[in-house]
Structure 1
Amino acid sequence: MATLQKIRSKGALLVIVIGLALFAFIAGDAWKVIRPNQSQDAGEVNGEVLSVQEYQAMIEEYTEIVKFSLGTNTLNDDQINQIRDEAWATFVNKKLIEKEAKKIGLTVSKAEIQAIIDDGTDPILQQTPFRNSQGVFDKDELKRFLVDYAKMDRTTMQPQYLEYYDSMNRYWLFFEKNLFQSRLIEKYRSLIVLAMSSNPIEAQNTFDGRVNQAEMLIAAIPYNAIPDSTVIITPADIKSLYQKKKEQFKQIAEIRDIKYIDIQVKASEKDKVELEKEINDYSVKLEETSSDYTSFIRSAGSQYPYIDLYYRKEA
């Protein structure tokens, strides 16, 4: 009874507490209705928001490209985390460079990309499967694939070949998009380098400073010739000088001391025996496979992706 009496005496306070709790609950739901997309944003760069859906689409695109290039259907946790970081870094770099390039009207034309493809030496092109027998990018192989892909009859083609050609096409579109971005960054960096080059006025001043000569007499008084007792330095003087010159000693880049051990990893005799056995097992399975070599080679984890295309005899 004493407990009930105490609760009754605090009745007004309980009503206020319960009322505040109900208000917080209702206000929280109302805020979710007002700002439904707040929790669906993955990040923001220069005021441009990347939604969770867009970020997930980028991750899926990168995942498909990595799986195709490695010839595998699964990725481990470390690879997935690297893909997420790479997708976000790509979005950040893209938005930063696009903003600055837009200010000065800097663009990349299709003709520039075609010139890069014709030259064939860009490192991005060397990562594509369109290479000759020497492992060098071959624009003719690329053209042949694009022509075949545009003309192929999707109604009569086997599903596995159709899926492979579609993957190859998405693979190339991904690298083509990267070519545009890489070229834009290269042009912007070149512009900055040229802007930092010396102009005629600066060059003339440098030349005058080297060739103009003058004669003078200098009287020097060593610091140790002045008695310390005649110089009074106050804490205010030290603080004032520090404030004036502290920017001269500022280190922009952080410095770290790292200790590491360099260990050369070599295959043991046991590793060699196991690898030879694995190769022999795959060799036997390959002989037993009469069709669908693509899926078999990918499942074997080959470093060189199998491309089911026709090649010239001299290729």
Structure 2
Amino acid sequence: MAALGKIRSRGAWLIIIIGLGLFAFIAEEAVRSCNGIKGEASQNIGEVLGEKVNVQEFQKMVEEFQNVNKIMSQRDNFTEDEMNQFRDQVWQQMVTNKVLERDAAKVGLAVTEDELNEVLKEGTNPMLVQSPFVNQQTGRFDVNALKQFLDGYNKAKASNSPELEQMQSFYDYWLFMEKTLRTQILGQKYQSLLASCVLSNKVEAKLAFKDENEEADVQLASLPYSSVKDADIKVSDEDLKAKYEELKPLFMQSVETRDIKYVDYQILPSVADRNAINKNMTALQAQLASAADPAQVVSKSGSIISYLGLPVSSKAYVAYPDIAGRIDSLAVGTTGVIENKADNTLNIIRVMSKVQLPDSVQIRQIQVAGATVEQSRQKADSIQKALAGGANFEEIAKRYAQTGEKTWFTNAYETATTISPENRQYVEAVLNGEVNAVQNLALSQGNVILQVLDKRAVSSKTLAAVIKKPIEFSNDTRSAAFNKFSEYVAKGTTIEELEKNAAKYGYKVQSQNNIATTVHNVVGIRSTREALKWIFDAKTGDVSPLYECGNNDHFMVVALTNIHPQGYRSWDDAEVKEMLKREVMKDKKAAQLMAKLKGVTNIAGAQAKGAKVSALNQVTFSAPAFVQETGSVEPALSGAIAATQAGKFSKNPVKGESGVYTFQVVKKAQRAGSKYDEAKMMQQCEQANLQHVGGFMQDLVLKAQVVDKRYLFF
């Protein structure tokens, strides 16, 4: 009881303590929850139809697409620009797929297994023809080859076969293809449904034929807008606002964009830097000219072109146009140091020899391996003797679990960046081997019995060593440039200060408007993702820190000057205002010129008012007329001519894109050789109408509330 009394006496304090404890517990859970939400939000790369897209999900799709391209192009690596293209393609396809699937589901459209199998059986889809499952004899997709592969993959997976790893990339490739095919089929069904809603009729067909084939010859009188001085036209804000309401749909933007001012400084080599590399290249030229083994000199020089030690065609230097364009014309010997301003390099070329070699060689071979190198040699010798005695090549190959089939060896080796001594030995044996002769190549891992069967496309090839070195700036030059730019940025805390100090430091402030999150870098300079992230996180008037970007050869500072939210741009936006001003001036100039032509009833009267007269022939309604005097295509003029009878003068002046016009229709006639085909014209009208609604996917995407935040991650 005493204890209860103490509790009661301190009840208020206990309530406060317990309340604080509960608050702390709740606050802790709230913080955890908020952190979880923030963590989840930090992984969102965007939204489509209100559904968040996780960066890991997107990256997985990019990797799938990358793997497909590896198989298709037979390449293992891609450039930064190529990877950006992959990400763009995957993002666009993902958005399209999500939007299409949602809308197709509303009308009950789906792709069945039977429909997919039918496409596979037909095998005519362009995607299938490009797949690895193509019959080499027919050049067509072979569904049986696909089934055999899938069956083999499932067996390898069940038995955990060593072949599984090799088959996995092709299996993933097929899964991607299948998914893409389903989406393609769904899109075709959706478009077919839409097409069935677009019809034509006989009246429309007859009018369309007339519009295409009724040609008019006219005498045209033109008064260009340029004949009225801009200074004589007064434009008020009320004029601009009225024109804005008329053209408002043109100023709708689907995504937020931002405007910036920036200073980009590229570090260039100093005179001292150029002198140093010239001195180094002069020494290398002497070494290369006298070297018994050019490979060592080229390797130590740091050349960006490796030495293969094999004769190659000029096509091997396709990435270096200056070398490719020069190599064939060079005689045996060593050039001096050559500067190429296009890629900012110094170059030395030593030509060792010129030979005639085939681009394609048909070969067959037997790989021979033994428990020891000596055993391999003995087996190879016995095979060579047997073949020399008339033994069948393919029969011997079968004894060693090989086919010995004929294959074509091409000049793909020419584009290799490096080649091992043994691979060089093999290529030389193929290129230089006599037709039908059998060679016994002794390699470190065994022997190869090689027979050359045919040679084709013999051309001139050059054995050359090339030293190509960029003219680079030194560390001292970079440090001096960094210190100077850092000082400039430190003094430029506002846009006004950046602009004021730029000339003093020798920099130039530039502008870039309407930057969207879909770009991969700032003003086309590599490695500017951090600057891009800053731009979309900054407030108007903010100035960024210094960014080191490019290929470690650029310094940049950015200032945010304007933000254009998603939606309609306002009438007083600088770009909108300029466009409105042009349109208002055109309207007012047109009004003056049309008033000038008021009461004119013939071409002579228009010419007396200062109009330029010319002949305009074969004008049709469906093809807008081009007027030489104003340098402009004029759709309104074509319409007015079509509505005017032969022999008549235009009732009213026509306001065009670049001037005001009046005309006399000299004659009208049906185009020579044209003949009305009602069924054909109705079909043509349906196709034209379908094109008008062909942008349905773009409309669906615009309504899907797409949010793109890829710039935060890539």
TM > 0.5 fold call:
yes
3-state DSSP class of the match of 2:39?
coil
Q: Kindly indicate whether the alpha-carbon contact (under 8 Å) linking 2:156 and 2:164 is maintained by their aligned counterparts in 1.
A: no
> Within 5 A, what are the aligned runs for 1:245-256?
none
Deviations 1:30-61 (Å, cap 9, x if unpaired)?
Answer: 85455331111011011111111211211222
Shift of 1:98: 0.9
Write the distance in 1 (CA, Å) between the matches of 2:61 and 2:412: 39
Q: Look up the match of 1:127.
A: 130
State the one-letter code of the partner of 1:146: L
Q: Look up the match of 1:171.
A: 173
Deviations 1:157-196 (Å, cap 9, x if unpaired)?
Answer: 3x3x221212211111110111100001111112212212
3-state DSSP class of the match of 2:53?
strand
Q: Does 1:61 align with 2:41?
A: no
Write the distance in 1 (CA, Å) between the matches of 2:140 and 2:189: 25
Q: Look up the match of 1:10.
A: none
Counterpart selection for 2:149 from 140, 145, 148: 145
State the one-letter code of the partner of 1:283: V
State the one-letter code of the partner of 1:121: T
Write the distance in 2 (CA, Å) between the matches of 1:73 and 1:277: 15
Shift of 1:69: 2.6
Q: Does 1:99 align with 2:102?
A: yes
> Within 5 A, what are the aligned runs for 1:40-51?
40-51=43-54
State the one-letter code of the partner of 2:145: E
Q: Look up the match of 2:82.
A: 79
Q: Look up the match of 1:182.
A: 184
3-state DSSP class of the match of 1:179?
helix
Deviations 1:242-274 (Å, cap 9, x if unpaired)?
Answer: 689758x9699xxxxxxxxxxxx9964738989
Change (3 A) 1:209 1:186: closer
Q: Kindly indicate whether the alpha-carbon contact (under 8 Å) linking 2:135 and 2:141 is maintained by their aligned counterparts in 1.
A: yes
Change (3 A) 1:285 1:162: farther
Q: Does 1:283 align with 2:462?
A: no
Write the distance in 2 (CA, Å) between the matches of 1:34 and 1:144: 47
Q: Look up the match of 1:37.
A: 40
Write the distance in 2 (CA, Å) between the matches of 1:177 and 1:39: 28
Change (3 A) 1:39 1:132: same
Q: Look up the match of 1:109.
A: 112
3-state DSSP class of the match of 1:150?
helix
Q: Look up the match of 2:327.
A: 270
Q: Kindly indicate whether the alpha-carbon contact (under 8 Å) linking 1:154 and 1:162 is maintained by their aligned counterparts in 2.
A: no
Moved more, 147-156 or 46-55: 147-156
3-state DSSP class of the match of 1:37?
helix
3-state DSSP class of the match of 1:72?
coil
Structure 2: segments with no counterpart, 5+ residues: 1-29, 209-235, 253-320, 330-353, 360-410, 415-422, 431-440, 448-714
State the one-letter code of the partner of 1:110: E
Write the distance in 2 (CA, Å) between the matches of 1:191 and 1:83: 31
3-state DSSP class of the match of 2:126?
coil
Give 1 or 2: higher strand fraction: 2
Shift of 1:277: 9.5
3-state DSSP class of the match of 2:67?
helix
3-state DSSP class of the match of 1:151?
helix
3-state DSSP class of the match of 2:196?
helix
Change (3 A) 1:194 1:32: same
Counterpart selection for 1:194 from 193, 196, 202: 196
Change (3 A) 1:284 1:177: farther
With structure 2 as the length reference, what TM-score do the two structures score? 0.27
Q: Kindly indicate whether the alpha-carbon contact (under 8 Å) linking 2:65 and 2:90 is maintained by their aligned counterparts in 1.
A: yes
State the one-letter code of the partner of 1:118: K
Change (3 A) 1:184 1:239: same
Shift of 1:131: 0.8
Change (3 A) 1:244 1:48: closer
Shift of 1:110: 0.7
Q: Kindly indicate whether the alpha-carbon contact (under 8 Å) linking 1:63 and 1:83 is maintained by their aligned counterparts in 2.
A: yes
With structure 1 as the length reference, what TM-score do the two structures score? 0.57
Shift of 1:67: 2.1
Write the distance in 1 (CA, Å) between the matches of 2:240 and 2:160: 83
3-state DSSP class of the match of 1:195?
coil
Change (3 A) 1:72 1:106: same
Change (3 A) 1:250 1:90: closer
Shift of 1:132: 1.4
Shift of 1:95: 0.8
Write the distance in 2 (CA, Å) between the matches of 1:68 and 1:277: 16
Write the distance in 2 (CA, Å) between the matches of 1:122 and 1:156: 33
Change (3 A) 1:151 1:284: farther
3-state DSSP class of the match of 1:44?
strand
Shift of 1:66: 2.0
Which is greater in Rg? 2
Write the distance in 2 (CA, Å) between the matches of 1:64 and 1:77: 16
Q: Kindly indicate whether the alpha-carbon contact (under 8 Å) linking 1:120 and 1:139 is maintained by their aligned counterparts in 2.
A: yes
Q: Does 1:118 align with 2:121?
A: yes
State the one-letter code of the partner of 2:79: N
Change (3 A) 1:278 1:148: closer
Deviations 1:71-104 (Å, cap 9, x if unpaired)?
Answer: 3332221222122112211210111111110111
Change (3 A) 1:241 1:206: farther
Q: Kindly indicate whether the alpha-carbon contact (under 8 Å) linking 2:157 and 2:164 is maintained by their aligned counterparts in 1.
A: no
